[in-house]
Amino acid sequence: MTASAGGGSSPGDHPGREHRPPRPGKPMRTALTGGTLLWSDGRLAPGTVVFGNGVIQTIAAGEVPAGTGPDDAVRVDVVHDVTGHIVAPGFVDTHVHGGLGANVMSADAATGTRVSRWLAAGGVTACLAATTSVDADQLHRTLAGLAALRGRLAGGLGIEMLGVHVEGPFLAAAHRGSHREEHLRLPSPEAVDALLEAGDGAVRVVTLAPELPDGMDTVARLADAGVHPSLGHSGASFQQAKAAIGRGLDRAAHLFNELPPIDHRAPGPVPALLTDPRVRCELIGDGVHVAPEMLRFALDVAGWERLMLVSDGCDVAGLPPGRQRRWDGTVVDVTESEPRTLDGAVVGSVTRLGDALRVLVRDGGVSLSDALRMASAVPAESLGLDDRGRLTPGRMADIVVLDPELCVRTTYVRGEVIFDREEMGPG
């Protein structure tokens, strides 16, 4: 970043920041100017975004936005020249298990700090911590621990953990993936109530196989409790998927993965999920879990408005390539693109939403505007959040700055820098 025109930097200042004296009695305002903004209507066009006190205050096409009157003029205290860069809403990852050797199942502050550090370097400003199938006692302890961690991670200096995505244990054994079969169990009112009680209001999404006995009633029970039921790790038929949607199911976990393939005589759940306007579908955009051509296919069918990027990132994400041991003792071979068990099965992802963005645009032929909204606006809206996900005044100043190669340069949460590539390295 270069210094703004007409501004200088004193020794020790960050390159590209023009500092002005703070205004007495008023919160400091920061402007990102010279870049290409993702406007709320999907346009990618030049503009300036001004934020202060944790929220976006103004966006405008000009370099210095003017107020509506002499007492309301927008004055900024710090200017960042982001010429040549893209300014977008921070990414919201609604399905992540860990990173940098830490798994959210540990549910402690140190894990939150490591996961926050990893995700922030990928442009993520908020997430749902995703669990896995374990015995009931351990799951309840994890849910209680994650509930206590809600909010800003890393001692209040990191990304925001919005709550929990419970993945399992109500899954179909034939589609369990890396979930251990001995920990799978059937849903019941008692099991669901115990899960929600342990989560103490933190449970936002529950992924399950609705075709299991009592599965449809469980979908309705979760929806009535204000939790988003999500179809995943399921062998549901087209008709069963439609029935679950009718009972309140409004999400699909990592579409295509651990679901029956589309067949011309037995279409399975994917066509039902993609074509129903009541459902938003997760997509793992690492280019490994879903071929770029299928990512584009999903977009052509459902439109960007109902597709959200997720990482499904696991605990070995961010660790050096080679043989690593996961939190549950499973030994995996990690490459730059994927983790695999010793028998060759893919177990989660090692990428972040910033990485997925490049896959969609470069390999899937998805427009940058659509890909950015699939990583920000759609996941935020899928959780009913209207305080983030778009660059509009009044929303949180959760912002990511991308360079021309679509690599993350800077990540802001509520207007605070939590990752800067020049200061912290590539992450």
Q: At 41, is the secondary structure helix, strand, or coil?
A: coil
Domain count for the chain, please give it: 2
Tell me, yes or no, whether 272 and 341 share the same domain.
yes
Are the C-beta atoms of residues 23 and 3 closer than 8 Å to each other? no
* CATH number for 228: 3.20.20.140
In a domain? residue 173: yes
Tell me, yes or no, whether 121 and 260 share the same domain.
yes
Chain segment 321-376, per-residue pLDDT in tens: 999 998 888 899 999 888 998 888 888 899 999 999 999 999 999 999 999 999 99
Tell me, yes or no, whether 262 and 154 share the same domain.
yes
- Choose among 269, 198, 199, 203: nearest CA to 233: 269
**Active-site residue among 312, 315, 355, 420?**
312
What average pLDDT is seen over the chain?
Answer: 91
Exposure string over 219-256, b if 16+ CB within 10 A, otherwise e: bbbbbeeebbbbbbbbbbbbebbbbbbebbbbbbbbbb
Tell me, yes or no, whether 51 and 183 share the same domain.
no
Please, which residues have CB within 8 angstroms of residue 194's CB and are 6 or more apart in sequence? 136, 140
Query: Is the predicted pLDDT of residue 206 greater than 70, yes or no?
Result: yes
pLDDT score for 355: 95
Cut 0.75: pTM above it: yes
Tell me, yes or no, whether 112 and 204 share the same domain.
yes
- The residue-averaged pLDDT of 125-139 equals 97
Domain that holds residue 51: 17-88+391-424
Annotation says 420 is catalytic: no
Identify the residue with better confidence: 141 or 336: 141
pLDDT score for 65: 45
Chain segment 174-190, per-residue pLDDT in tens: 999 889 999 999 999 99
* The total number of residues written for the chain in this structure: 427
331-334 β-sheet, strand order: 322-325, 331-334, 339-341
Query: Is the predicted pLDDT of residue 425 greater than 80, yes or no?
Result: no
Under the banding of pLDDT at 50, 70 and 90, the label for residue 20 is low
Tell me, yes or no, whether 101 and 236 share the same domain.
yes
Chain segment 291-317, per-residue pLDDT in tens: 999 999 999 999 999 999 999 999 999
Neighbours of 156 (CB within 10 A): 9
Query: Is the predicted pLDDT of residue 66 greater than 90, yes or no?
Result: no
Tell me, yes or no, whether 262 and 198 share the same domain.
yes
